[in-house]
Amino acid sequence: MRKKNQKYRELVIKCLEMAGKPLWVREIARRTGLNPQTVTNILDELSLSGIIVDEDFARETDGKIKMRLVRLK
């Protein structure tokens, strides 16, 4: 499982590098073929590691995050 996680992390980082601009989670999922929840989990890890930063959020009326825009640090 750990190798798979590392592969997915590398895939998400590469996607952001190639884009050269901030991307929404759903766009990263579309470009990588990963599930949006998987992308969100990976982005949480990358954020804690200081590799990415959040640019913007769109929230539901109940305050839950609907969309998340991220970029490489």
pLDDT per residue as tens, the chain (73 positions): 577 789 999 999 999 999 999 999 999 999 999 999 999 999 999 999 999 999 987 776 777 667 899 999 9
Q: Which helix (H) or strand (E) holds 73?
A: none
pTM, two decimal places: 0.85
Query: What CATH number did the domain enclosing 56 receive?
Result: 1.10.10.10
**How far is the C-alpha of 34 from the C-alpha of 27, rounded, in Å?**
10
Phi, psi of 56 (to 5 degrees): -160, 160
Strands laid side by side in the 65-72 sheet:
23-24, 65-72, 52-59
Q: Is the distance from CB of 32 to CB of 11 less than 8 angstroms? A: yes
The count of domains in the chain is 1
Return the pLDDT at 67.
84
Its domain, for residue 45, covers 2-72
